[in-house]
Chains A and B, each alone.
Chain A
């Protein structure tokens, strides 16, 4: 089984809808991250969490919120989806040292 899983893998929704993307990991890492990937822009950090009580904004947090339900679970929400949030979303986890990030398979989100 994959160490980092994301659900759903694909989602099509409409403008204004609330969407939740979920991430679970079995690596035992305390640190979890949400990234967004747009063509030609690489990955950009949305939110990150270094433990259950720690939530931090990344480079592009506007329009998103997160919840760290447990060490192994980190959810990303779009409160009111808009078309320019159409992207590939990745969850990642890392240990403290080494801090290599391990990624989930991604969620392809389309907002119409």
Chain B
């Protein structure tokens, strides 16, 4: 079964508008971490934001915020005031348990975001 689901293969957003990229996850472990990465066309993987399962508040990093809804098992990435440079693939990832044991760190299939001028 898929541990991480990203249901939007592709998204479009107008420059300066906000956009939400969906991520749902599946785990029975009460302790886990959720990550978002950005992969621009140049190919590198850039860490954006992290949310722990016990964190009380939604994580924020500059224009990025994570809308964490634990009961729904969703961890959507919100990008405010989109910029042309935000056009990229975005991957949601999850680490099950308190520590990374390698195989308990999984990535979703990604969402391609295109920002329109």
Listed in ascending order, the chain A residues whose CB lies under 8 Å from chain B are: 31, 33, 40-45, 48, 50, 56, 58-59, 88, 90, 92, 94, 96-106, 108
Q: List 26 A-B contacts (CB under 8 A).
A: A40-B109, A42-B4, A42-B91, A42-B107, A43-B91, A44-B107, A45-B105, A48-B102, A56-B103, A58-B102, A90-B45, A92-B45, A96-B99, A97-B99, A99-B33, A99-B95, A99-B100, A100-B50, A101-B100, A103-B44, A103-B45, A103-B46, A103-B47, A105-B43, A106-B43, A106-B45
Closest to A88 in B: B43
Number of interface residues of B (CB under 8 A): 21
A105 touches B47 (CB 8 A): no
A96 to B45 Cα, complex, angstroms: 20
Cβ distance B26 to chain A, nearest Cβ, rounded Å: 15
Binary CB contact string for chain B from 72 to 108 against chain A (1 if under 8 A, 0 otherwise) = 0000000000000000000100010001101101011
B43 touches A102 (CB 8 A): no
A20 to B104 Cα, complex, angstroms: 26
A112 to B50 Cα, complex, angstroms: 39
A82 to B91 Cα, complex, angstroms: 27
Closest to B46 in A: A103
A33 touches B102 (CB 8 A): yes
